[in-house]
Amino acid sequence: MPNVTVVGAQWGDEGKGKIVDWLSERAEIVVRFQGGHNAGHTLVIGNETYKLSLLPSGVVRPGKLSVIGNGVVIDPWALLSEIDAIVARGVPVTPDTLHVAENAALILPLHRRLDQALEEARGAAKIGTTGRGIGPAYEDKVGRRAVRVCDLADRSTLEARVDAVLFHHNALLRGLGVAEADRGELLAALIEVAPKILPFAKPVWQTLDVARRAGKRILFEGAQGAMLDVDHGTYPYVTSSQTVAGQAAPGAGIGPSALGYVLGITKAYTTRVGSGPFPTEQANETGERMGTRGREFGTVTGRKRRCGWFDAVMVRQAIKTAGIDGIALTKLDVLDSFERVMVCREYRLDGATLHHFPAGQGAQARVEPVYEALEGWDEPTHGARSWADLPATAIKYVRRIEELIEAPVTLLSTSPERQDTIMVRDPFAD
């Protein structure tokens, strides 16, 4: 049976939670493969709203196995808090329903302190990090000094890892004028949390290999978006991990041939949280209107999102770099009642036409969008569940986006409710 990989095609916050939940009904295993608890998914199921950060979206679906892959950096205290919150609402989370990669790196309290201290030291050049320690944890991982989930089971290894981390980070904390981390306190905290985390620890690569050979449907769930990818995004205003679909393979411990159909999620307009270039941003009444109608506030941080018109140049580039086969276009209803809607089809940079998002930080800040104006629609699209329910001009808007991004619309979302989804093509059907 085919598998599906879901990734964001903008700067995150595209509505992946609803789409992954909608697809999870067709999957048997849902895998989170990168990021940390800095990315949030909001699921609306009937009268219940769930806000998840680390747990895969499939956790709220009975009979589904949820997997946190080795590509994720895990704050064990945040994970336990999220589990407790879900269990309190009647959703069972046990070692039989949730597997955590034993070789995943941990986020420690000192990572949060360092993250916040570094962001504060940047002053006006802030990146926009959530301050949750994700970046420093990934630095430790590639620096080969991380404390991993499996280390919690071995006291001698754990102590050696903690010493390696403190040797590096305490020097940085001293340089920033921040109090050093205490070895005894950190060890005690890790020893205390170990028996609560270790029952979930598994060789998830093995779990997924068995599932793949048995023909089970696997849904790989990405966090954030392609333009926040540490290589392909708006560097340095990016996250600390690979957010493109190819990361699902090493981030879950499975071969790339298992990834299947790649579905990119994109809003019918554009949003961004935090600092960084945003060519189509509307810092005006139009942007305010989008933000109000779309309820554009971060799931994790509550920060207000910047809003702007759909950027076809950026999404087209994300489709190429992320290997996206088709897109799920979300929040079309937010554009209801706009007299006209604008789409950025190309850029102007220093007097020249540009059909891609440049890599250089200075060039990214200088590009100017070239817009194409399309007719808006008076009839509501909110709640539409078939093409017949959509105004003709809304359909024209969708078709023009397909042309500009060079990829088909596979799914169309017209409200946060999971039933308000138009399926053009079932990603699991191939």
Exactly one of 21, 37, 41, 140 is catalytic; which is it?
41
HSE value, Cβ hemisphere, 13 Å, CA-based, for 18: 27
| CA 113 to chain centroid | 23
382 within 8 A of 415, measured Cβ to Cβ: yes
368 within 8 A of 348, measured Cβ to Cβ: yes
What does 279-343 look like in DSSP terms, one character per residue?
TTB--SHHHHHHHHHHT-B-TTT-PBPEEE-EEHHHHHHHHHHHT-SEEEEE-GGGGTT-SEEEE
Distance between CA atoms of residues 181 and 166, nearest Å = 7
Tell me the three state secondary structure of residue 56: coil
Distance between CA atoms of residues 71 and 132, nearest Å = 17
Tell me the three state secondary structure of residue 253: coil
Distance between CA atoms of residues 325 and 9, nearest Å = 12
Distance between CA atoms of residues 61 and 17, nearest Å = 13
Exactly one of 13, 151, 311, 325 is catalytic; which is it?
13
Active site includes 41?
Answer: yes
Distance between CA atoms of residues 381 and 16, nearest Å = 20
- In 3D space, the residue among 26, 35, 29, 28 whose CA is nearest the CA of residue 7 turns out to be 35
Active site includes 37?
Answer: no
Bond preceding residue 277 cis, omega within 30 of 0: no
Q: Which residues are catalytic?
A: 13, 41
